[in-house]
Amino acid sequence: MAIGGAEDRTSDLAILKQVFALAPEGNSEVVVIAAASSIPGQILPVYRAAFERLGASRVHTLAMQDRRQAADPEAVRLIERSGVIFFTGGDQLHLTSAIGGSPVLEAIRQRSGAGAVVAGTSAGAAALPSTMIYGGAAEDALRKGAVHMASGLGLVSGLMIDSHFLNRGRFTRLMEAGASNPGQLGVGIGEDAAVIIHPNRVLEVIGSGHVIIIDSQKLASSNIAALSMGEPVAIENTIVHALISGHGFDIDARRYLVADELTAVLKEKEIP
Amino acid sequence: MAIGGAEDRTSDLAILKQVFALAPEGNSEVVVIAAASSIPGQILPVYRAAFERLGASRVHTLAMQDRRQAADPEAVRLIERSGVIFFTGGDQLHLTSAIGGSPVLEAIRQRSGAGAVVAGTSAGAAALPSTMIYGGAAEDALRKGAVHMASGLGLVSGLMIDSHFLNRGRFTRLMEAGASNPGQLGVGIGEDAAVIIHPNRVLEVIGSGHVIIIDSQKLASSNIAALSMGEPVAIENTIVHALISGHGFDIDARRYLVADELTAVLKEKEIP
């Protein structure tokens, strides 16, 4: 699950409640990883309190500020026990440079395959895909090279996630990223919104905000390959959707799902 | 012609030069109207100097701050003489409330039909169409009612113009406007960019910035009609294009024109 940032952590916990609700049957242990954050001592207690209020049997908090900590067998053991693995916000490069290629990331990948819920907010959401967006000011956007991309954690493929999307007007970042590789779906998550990516690769929107889908697969033309750095990028034919809570999107079929369709698709997958 | 705002007025005047170049043969008189501005005394001399540098035979400046001035026969006479009619930036409601339905606007409409170039920057661009966007914070965007629309000057139809588009991340404003009426094309003009709308309703981009086209005509679904004010708007299938200088768009055919296509289409119209 990817959260757009600024989710409520202290009052009704609407989004975190849904993270917790996705935990596998019989396992309500949560591990919170603050590798993206430079202030883990401030942020970890907030999430500990939130997940405890939600009924977690145990909450493990890991500051995980360097590669030594990302190789710590005790951290691996805590991840292997947990049904919910949560990445805080901060700086996505701080996160990937600490845990990329580490035993901790390998343990998370295995837990994800075995049914644990992996969630991240803000930078922790942006880092989940194979390719990660980590910077680029809105003012420079749609100039070749303005969007910075790097290899992400690889916990979900075929899409890129940008957070704080509406307030910071980040449409152009995902448009440029889509022009570079139209095969990658752009997922822009607004404040107090989140997406659940189900195992059948259907994306479900929750929260009171928006999720913007930027689909460049039908891109008709772009000049991006021919440009020098800093020159303005032309893009013909990007498809944009604005999704709200209860709506969904089939990532591989590139299909918008209104509430009824989403319900039907999610029921289907439950049939054994 | 509609200009995104912040165009260069003092050094190379790239965009204003193109405004001036569109003046009809043998008429290089310019009238600058500061009805949108609350500081006409500051802004008018800047444009006077710019158009004089470009070779205007005469530059008339009109503060036009109220309806009395918009009915002044002398102002009408100056407009009737001029080959270029230019609206400054400021507040678009200031502009429409002063000159809407006035003898001055009627004179501008007639001059436009007779081949004079009508141009506006920022608020002066936003006010040109029949429907005008005049407010709505990016943070509230895509919430029903967040975008404020009103009747514009009606000098161009079938589209809505938003300015300062990229720096202020205004995608959601035109998406919401398009969901309310998918027949209206959204034209978002970036800083130091402009569109020329030719008589055959082909739009041509000039300047070093971007023009974003938001085409809602193929909107597949939206909940906007069913919502209460402030609720989040869902939108399925908006088509977005990012155009740069030399690219164009056929407003009625809804067709993106790359540089070669634009050149061909603009040549066509010259054949008598």
Q: Helix H segments across chain B?
A: 14-21, 40-53, 73-81, 92-99, 103-113, 123-126, 171-180, 259-270
Q: Which residue of B has its CA nearest to A140?
A: B167
Residue from B120, B89, B105 nearest B197 by CA: B120
B209 and A223 within 8 Å at the Cβ level: the answer is: no
What is d(CA A110, CA A115) in angstroms, rounded to the nearest whole number? 9
The answer for B 222-241 residues in CB contact with A (under 8 A) is: 223, 232-241
**pLDDT for position A6:** 78
pLDDT tens digit sequence for B112-157? 999 999 999 999 999 999 999 987 665 667 889 888 889 999 999 9
A234 and B243 within 8 Å at the Cβ level: the answer is: yes
pLDDT tens digit sequence for B153-187? 999 999 999 988 877 778 888 999 999 899 999 99
Q: Chain A to chain B, count of Cβ pairs less than 8 Å apart?
A: 98
A21, A34, A50, A51, A57 from A28: Cα distances, Å: 9, 19, 13, 10, 5
How would residue B269 be classed by pLDDT, with cut points 50, 70 and 90?
Answer: low
Nearest Cα of chain A lies from the Cα of B262 at a distance, in angstroms, of: 14
B241 and A221 within 8 Å at the Cβ level: the answer is: no
Please give, one letter per residue, the 3-state secondary structure of A136-188.
Answer: CCHHHCCECCCCEEEECCCCECCEEEECCCCCCCCHHHHHHHHHHCCCCEEEE
- Length of chain B counted residue by residue: 272
A48, A139, B5, B11, B109 from B20: Cα distances, Å: 64, 28, 17, 15, 18
Question: Could you tell me the maximum CA-CA distance found in chain B, to the nearest angstrom?
Answer: 56
Contact B186, B209 (CB under 8 A): no
| Mean predicted confidence (pLDDT) in A205-233 | 93
**Residue B114's CB: how many other CB atoms inside 10 A?**
10
- Please indicate if any CB of chain A lies within 8 Å of the CB of B217: no
A243 vs B contacts (CB less than 8 Å): 234
What is d(CA A10, CA A75) in angstroms, rounded to the nearest whole number? 26
**pLDDT for position A269:** 63
The answer for A 111-170 residues in CB contact with B (under 8 A) is: 138-139, 141-142, 166-170
Q: Is B257 helix (H, G, I), strand (E, B) or coil?
A: strand
pLDDT tens digit sequence for B208-263? 889 999 999 999 999 999 999 989 999 999 999 999 999 999 999 999 999 999 99
Q: A70 CB contacts (<8 Å, ≥6 apart)?
A: A35, A64, A98, A99, A102, A103, A104, A105
**pLDDT for position B175:** 92
Helix and strand counts by DSSP (H, E) for chain B = 8, 16
B258 vs A contacts (CB less than 8 Å): 221, 234, 236
Nearest-10 crossing angle of helices A14-21, A40-53: 70
pLDDT exceeds cutoff 80 at A12:
no
> Per 3-state DSSP, what percentage of chain B is helix, strand, and coil (rounded to 5)?
30, 30, 40
ipTM above 0.85 for this complex: no
* pLDDT, greater one: A159 or A169: A159
